[in-house]
Amino acid sequence: MIKLTIDGKEIEVARGTMLLDACRQAGADIPTLCYDPDLRLAGSCRMCVVDVKGRPALVASCVAPAENGMVVQTESDDVVESRKIILELLAARHKFECPTCEKDGECKLQDYMYRYGVKESRYDGEGPHFGMEDPNPFIERDYDKCIMCTRCVRACDGITGAQAINVKDRGHHAKIAAPFDGKLADSTCVFCGQCIMVCPVGALSSKVAAGQGKPAQNKKVLTTCTYCGTGCTLELNVNNDRVVGVTSNRDENWSPVNKGALCVKGRFGWDFIHSPDRLTTPMIRENGGLRPASWDEALDFAAGKIKEIKEKYGPDSLAMFSSARVTNEENYLAQKLMRAVIGTNNVDHCARL
Amino acid sequence: MANYQDIIASCKDKKGGIIEAYHALQREFNYIPREAVAEAARVFGVSEAQAYGVATFYSYLSVEKRGKYIVRMCESAPCHVAGADKVLKAMEDYLGIKVGETTADGKFTLELTECVGQCQATPVITVNSQPVFNVSSEKIPEILSAYK
Amino acid sequence: MAEEIRILLAHADQIDPAQAEDYIKVGGYKGLEKARGMTSKDLIEEVKKSGLRGRGGAGFNAGMKWSFVPPAEVKYVVCNLDEGEPGTYKDRIICEKNAQALIEGMAICGVAINAQQGYIYCRGEYPFVVDLLRKAIQSAKDVGALGDFDIEVRMGAGAYVCGEETALIESIEGHRGEPRFKPPFPGVAGLWGVPTVVNNVETFACLPYILTNGADCFASIGAPKYPGTKVLTLTGDVNNPTYFEVPTNYILSDVVYKLGGGVKNGRKFKAVQVGGTSGAFIPEQNLNTPIDFDSMSAIGAALGSGAVLVMDETRDIVDIVTRISKFFEHESCGKCNPCREGTFRCREIMEKINSGRATEADIDNLLLLARVMKRAALCGLGQAAPVPITSTIEHFGHEYRRKLLQYA
Ligand code: SF4
Ligand code: SF4
Ligand code: SF4
Ligand code: FES
Ligand code: FES
């Protein structure tokens, strides 16, 4: 264990603890933009800088290991001034359309500008100048809201492994780009939207959910994705009793299977939910056509037919193929039904094929 | 003309040698063609996005087609005080192009550079990386006309 | 005392730097031989004792740096030949005059830290130096001077930031030359994640002398706390714009007036920028300072790369600093916010001032920005980029104010 003093408070942390975690442990609220606990460290936004006694420069706490005897100030005048100016620098190139921005209310730039009272930028030269990217049905990339934290690049590489995007050019002209500055669709992008998930501002957003509700207006309902057997947890964004989007919860306790990562189907393939073409009742085939029926009628009908077959040909004439798109519990019940009620071991499952 | 696959293959044993491969490609083509970036990504086992990111990071590498002779004006402070602006103007006038452009005949591309480490003889220009010393606006036509 | 002392350049133009035999004839590779007869601990002690400090800019004791390298199966010796500081060409000169000393120096470091592989990262602007070094290495191998130590030359491609050691490592690995955060320092986890010593050409090239003549001999040259010699490159308004090797206690005014032959065209001196484009501008009243690391730090300047840019009374400081601010905008790698956005805004404000469109508030904004960049930028580039601005506002503030709107 090592001992250090943070904002006058002495604390003890395990060796190898990062200064950021130590500060948080000491109750300090350190702003971060590029830091993401699930991603390779960058140490690039410099928002998390703190004052360490005896160091000539400020220290980026997210990439600095805590050291024995450190005396740290997390909101010294120097620190606050630096954070303010960094925010002003970001603001100077930012297209503020908060009222219509998908991230309004859940945006780190907004939050920190509010926290540090940055109303405008004194660096009033050239403003935002990049524009939008990419015709694709899923992801909106607005370069003029990008703060170049590279979290999207690191998520695309480190979480999804697609490596579809990277930084192009350098300096103030650097921007996030697919190969040859081309379209995402022509790249190795799998449209998982992990980049949207990690973006701390509104530079990346879902086209499918656009305009249907801001973060604060949406109720988040945790559920399990029904597309495949992985069982990812996702968050339905519900607004006025309608599903208007899907986001994910990155907390391992809530999202043990996927820690927030989703695939294109889970994140973007939800707009069928309110489709008028969806079946709303069971259907029974009769005379070459389908007619609506109640659940009771349909279940009785199916049970009757199954009984009939079992009586006539024996239980092994029946088999159950279950699906990865239902939950484990439902699969358990399915095989139980076959074994205990029908009396056959003929059960199988699509994930095994 | 060597093809880009062979050029890249000749560098493949250099660990992390994608920049070496880009140099070799530029010696042949004066820029890095798109297919070559993709091939280099494959050979060096990195994503195309990364290979492209590398190619666009360095100012001596170009992913845009360039002329046969790449003429660069050094504009760092020592050359600046020695009159780089005037020399640049003379080159733009002589070639009829602006910085970043290539002459219609595909012969010259005009670029700016930072110090090329020949500051004993400012102002300096380079033609395909070979420095030309103590240039002046008057000498530009003579210097550039030597490149056919 | 206004004489050159030549250690690195002692045999300049008398030997062919590509030929190891030539170098051996004048006593070359004796240092390496001696190093091989020492334990690694003694060797590092000897280098520490010589007081040799890194010539790349940070001025860290070389032996000390090596002593931090932990044991590991594979380690690397990397030479920084990315001299990108405008006005600097001393590493090129050292190679062109005495490439074998660099090679020997790297091999000595290899013995000290027990590494078998070296890399020289040479800037892309010097393809001819790359060719020369490859020949010189081959020649050293042919005569058996290097033993089992090997050196590969890698070429940069036009990125000043790659002079920063971790960006340089990234570049050798074939990546964008973006600096890494430290720790871990390269000595612990550098090239391909293994312990790596990165030193400048000039630092390595001092080693043969130290080993051959002894640490004490080297330590007695120049300034006691920053001993040895320094190769300077003189540019700008001097009569004699060339390179010199001088002891480190040499006085700056002697550089300008004795070696440089004074200001050109009989004009008066205005300022000198030492250490390249990231260096401070030094006014006349501070000219009487020795060039060594600590003396320069004391006047808020840095010896840096040893470039010396002299400006005469007619020079427009604001215009020159505007040009310099464009340099940093162009060379910022773009990784961290203070530098990526800061260098861009510095250039904007400098242009505004230079073209007579600025007010006093712009200068305040510039100084505020400079302060934040110095404190919060990720690497030395962003931290040093505002130095020319702040040092000229300090010493030549009237030249800025003259250009402000209200006085125009
Ligand atoms: S959608 Fe997924 S694969 Fe595509 S760029 Fe974003 S993170 Fe990468
Ligand atoms: S798009 Fe978002 S995540 Fe990606 S770099 Fe920009 S701000 Fe960061
Ligand atoms: S990204 Fe944030 S600051 Fe920018 S427009 Fe959206 S909500 Fe506003
Ligand atoms: S959060 Fe630490 S540098 Fe970005
Ligand atoms: S400043 Fe132009 S060559 Fe060095």
Domain contains B64: no
Cβ–Cβ contacts within 10 Å for residue B67, how many? 22
Pick from A199, A188, A200: which is nearest to A161 by CA? A188
Summarize the confidence of residues B55-78 as an average pLDDT.
Answer: 96
What's the confidence (pLDDT) of residue C1? 45
Out of A13-22, A130-139, C133-142, C254-263, pick the least confident.
A130-139
Ligand 2 neighbour A204 (Cβ under 6 A): yes
Q: How would residue C221 be classed by pLDDT, with cut points 50, 70 and 90?
A: very high
Evaluate if residue C56 carries a pLDDT over 90. Answer: no
For A337-351, write each residue's pLDDT tens digit: 999 999 999 999 887
Nearest ligand (C-alpha, residue A184): 1
For residue A143, CA distances in Å to A130, A133, C311 come to 6, 7, 42
Pick from A189, A212, A205: which is nearest to A273 by CA? A212
Domain contains B62: no
**What is the amino acid identity at position C47?**
V
CB-nearest to A169 from B38, B41, B56 is: B56
Partner-chain contact B81 C152, CB within 8 Å: no
Chains touching chain C through at least 3 C-beta pairs below 8 angstroms are A, B
CB-nearest to B81 from C158, C315, C331 is: C315
Structure tokens at A336: 């139980």
Atom of ligand 3 nearest to the CA of A142: 1
Partner-chain contact C341 A57, CB within 8 Å: no
Q: Which residue of A has its CA nearest to B61?
A: A169
Kindly list the domain boundaries of chain C, sorted by start residue. Answer: 20-220, 226-312, 317-407
- Report whether CATH 3.40.50.11540 matches the domain C20-220: yes
B86 with B139, same domain: the answer is yes
Ligand 3 neighbour A101 (Cβ under 6 A): yes
B74 with B127, same domain: the answer is yes
Summarize the confidence of residues A120-143 as an average pLDDT.
Answer: 88
In contact, C239 and C264? CB cutoff 8 Å = yes
Domain contains B53: yes
B41 with B99, same domain: the answer is no
Chain B hits for A180, CB-CB cut-off 8 Å, are 34, 37, 48, 52, 63
B10 with B42, same domain: the answer is yes
For C169-217, write each residue's pLDDT tens digit: 999 999 999 999 999 999 999 999 999 999 999 999 999 999 999 999 9
Q: How would residue C162 be classed by pLDDT, with cut points 50, 70 and 90?
A: very high
Partner-chain contact B49 A187, CB within 8 Å: yes
Residue with tokens 């130096």: C129
Strand arrangement of the beta sheet that strand A233-239 belongs to: A219-224, A233-239, A242-247
Q: To test the ligand 5 pocket, which listed residue (B124, B130, B133) has its Cβ within 8 A of the most ligand atoms?
A: B124
What's the confidence (pLDDT) of residue C203? 97
C265, burial (CB in 10 Å: exposed 0-12, middle 13-18, buried 19+)? exposed
Last residue within a domain, chosen from B27, B57, B87: B57
For residue A82, CA distances in Å to A51, A109, A117, B9, C280 come to 11, 15, 13, 48, 23
Partner-chain contact C337 A169, CB within 8 Å: no
For C257-278, write each residue's pLDDT tens digit: 999 999 999 999 999 999 999 9
d(Cα C366, Cα C260) in Å, to the nearest integer? 34
Mutate to test the interface with C, among B57, B70, B72, B74 (most CBs of C within 10 A): B57
Query: How many domains in chain B?
Result: 2
Partner-chain contact A89 C345, CB within 8 Å: yes
Mutate to test the interface with A, among C336, C354, C363, C366 (most CBs of A within 10 A): C336
Chain A residues with CB under 8 Å of a chain C CB are 41-47, 49, 57-58, 60, 63-65, 78, 81-82, 85-86, 89-90, 92-93, 122-123, 125-126, 147-148, 167, 169-174
Evaluate if residue C246 carries a pLDDT over 90. Answer: yes
Alpha helices in chain A (DSSP H): 19-25, 77-92, 108-115, 151-155, 194-198, 264-268, 295-313, 328-336
CB-nearest to B119 from C87, C176, C237 is: C87
Q: Which residue of A has its CA nearest to C329?
A: A171
Partner-chain contact C341 A93, CB within 8 Å: yes
Element (H, E) at B29: helix B18-29
In contact, C366 and A49? CB cutoff 8 Å = no
Taking the centre of ligand 5 as the mean of its atom positions, its distance from the CA of residue C29, in whole angstroms, is 34
Give percent above pLDDT 70 in chain A. 99
What's the confidence (pLDDT) of residue A353? 57
Element (H, E) at B51: helix B48-57
- Three-state DSSP at A60 gives strand
Atom of ligand 3 nearest to the CA of A113: 3
Partner-chain contact C378 A46, CB within 8 Å: yes
In this structure, the strands spanning A139-141 and A166-168 are unpaired
Chain B hits for A150, CB-CB cut-off 8 Å, are none
For C370-379, write each residue's pLDDT tens digit: 999 999 999 9
Chain C hits for A81, CB-CB cut-off 8 Å, are 368, 371-372
What's the confidence (pLDDT) of residue A229? 81
Chain A nearest CA to C346, separation (Å): 9
Evaluate if residue A299 carries a pLDDT over 70. Answer: yes
What's the confidence (pLDDT) of residue C58? 79
In sequence order, the β-bridge partners of residue A221 are: A236
In this structure, the strands spanning C307-312 and C229-236 are parallel
Torsion of CA B94, B96, B101, B107, to 10 degrees: -60
Ligand 3 neighbour A33 (Cβ under 6 A): no
Question: What is the third-level CATH fold of A283-352?
Answer: Rossmann fold (3.40.50)
Compute the mean pLDDT over every residue in chain C, rounded to the nearest whole number: 96
CA angle B69, B71, B74 (to 5 degrees): 160
Summarize the confidence of residues C212-241 as an average pLDDT.
Answer: 96
In contact, C84 and C57? CB cutoff 8 Å = no
Partner-chain contact C85 B115, CB within 8 Å: yes
Taking the centre of ligand 2 as the mean of its atom positions, its distance from the CA of residue A147, in whole angstroms, is 6
Q: Which residue of C has its CA nearest to A62?
A: C181
Evaluate if residue B140 carries a pLDDT over 80. Answer: yes
Chain A nearest CA to B67, separation (Å): 20
d(Cα A349, Cα A319) in Å, to the nearest integer? 11
For B14-66, write each residue's pLDDT tens digit: 999 999 999 999 999 999 999 999 999 999 999 999 999 999 999 999 999 99
Q: Which residue of A has its CA nearest to C377?
A: A46
Summarize the confidence of residues A174-191 as an average pLDDT.
Answer: 95
Chain A hits for B52, CB-CB cut-off 8 Å, are 166, 168, 177, 179-181
Write the CATH number of the domain with boundaries A2-89. 3.10.20.740
Compute the mean pLDDT over every residue in chain B, rounded to the nearest whole number: 96
What's the confidence (pLDDT) of residue C2? 58
Atom of ligand 4 nearest to the CA of A48: 2
CATH class of A210-278: mainly beta
Summarize the confidence of residues A30-35 as an average pLDDT.
Answer: 98
Evaluate if residue C329 carries a pLDDT over 90. Answer: yes
What's the confidence (pLDDT) of residue C406? 72
- Domain residues for the domain of B41 are 4-57
d(Cα C275, Cα A327) in Å, to the nearest integer? 68
Domain contains B79: yes
Chain B nearest CA to A317, separation (Å): 53
Out of A104-108, A126-130, A182-186, pick the least confident.
A126-130
Evaluate if residue C131 carries a pLDDT over 60. Answer: yes
Partner-chain contact A89 C376, CB within 8 Å: no
Write the CATH number of the domain with boundaries A133-207. 3.30.70.20
Evaluate if residue C251 carries a pLDDT over 80. Answer: yes
What is the 3 state secondary structure string of chain C? Answer: CCCCCCCCCCCCCCCCCCCHHHHHHCCCCHHHHHHHCCCHHHHHHHHHHHCCECCCCCCCEHHHHHHCCCCCCCCEEEEEECCCCCCCCHHHHHHHHHHHHHHHHHHHHHHHHCCCEEEEEECCCCHHHHHHHHHHHHHHHHCCCCCCCEEEEEECCCCHHHHCHHHHHHHHCCCCCCCCCCCCCCCCCCHHHCCEEEEEHHHHHHHHHHHHHCHHHHHCCEECCEECEEEEEEEECECCCCEEEEECCCEHHHHHHHHCCCEHHHCCEEEEEECCCCCCEEEHHHCCCECCHHHHHHCCCCCCCCEEEEEECCCCHHHHHHHHHHHHHHHCCCCCHHHHHHHHHHHHHHHHHHCCCCCHHHHHHHHHHHHHHHHHCCCHHHHHCCHHHHHHHHHHHHHHHHCCHHHC
CB pairs under 8 A between A and C: 108
Q: Which CATH architecture has domain C226-312?
A: Roll (3.10)
Kindly list the domain boundaries of chain A, sorted by start residue. Answer: 2-89, 133-207, 210-278, 283-352
Contacts of C39 (CB under 8 A, 6+ apart): none
Structure tokens at B144: 């550039």
The DSSP secondary-structure symbol of B15 reads T
Evaluate if residue C349 carries a pLDDT over 70. Answer: yes
What's the confidence (pLDDT) of residue C219? 97
**What is the amino acid identity at position A139?**
I
The DSSP secondary-structure symbol of A158 reads I
Q: How would residue C408 be classed by pLDDT, with cut points 50, 70 and 90?
A: low
Tell which CATH classification among 1.20.1440.230, 3.40.50.800, 3.30.1120.10, 2.40.37.10 matches the domain C317-407: 1.20.1440.230
B85 with B114, same domain: the answer is yes
CA angle C333, A75, A95 (to 5 degrees): 50
Equal fold, C20-220 vs C226-312: no
d(Cα A119, Cα A114) in Å, to the nearest integer? 8
